[in-house]
Amino acid sequence: RSRAIDIGPGDKIILFSDGITEARNNKGEEYTTKRLLKAILNNAHENCEEMKDTIINDLQNFSGSSKKKDDETLMISKFS
């Protein structure tokens, strides 16, 4: 499915692989899209690099020592 959206100055676009949202912790729980969205909204004031670092740190804290089963790709761009 496709949809057009308007992107203006200061807006950010965030692209991620399913390896982010499907990452699991030691209990077998997934990180989830809901948790990622919460991390994005809670850190929307940060610049792209800071936001990326914050999200990756949250993901690592969530996952702990669990073995990765997929790639984890995250890209954040801000429009000027």
Residue type, 41: L
**Three-class SS of residue 12?**
strand
For helices 33-42 and 48-63, the axis angle rounded to 10 degrees is 140
* Residue pLDDT, tens place only, 44-57: 999 999 999 999 99
**What is the reported pTM?**
0.86
* Residue pLDDT, tens place only, 6-42: 999 999 999 999 999 999 999 999 999 999 999 999 9
- The pLDDT of residue 65: 84
Q: Which residues contact 28 (CB under 8 A, 6 or more apart)?
A: none
% of the chain with per-residue pLDDT over 90:
88
pLDDT at 66 over 90: no
Using the 8-state DSSP alphabet, how is residue 45 labeled?
T
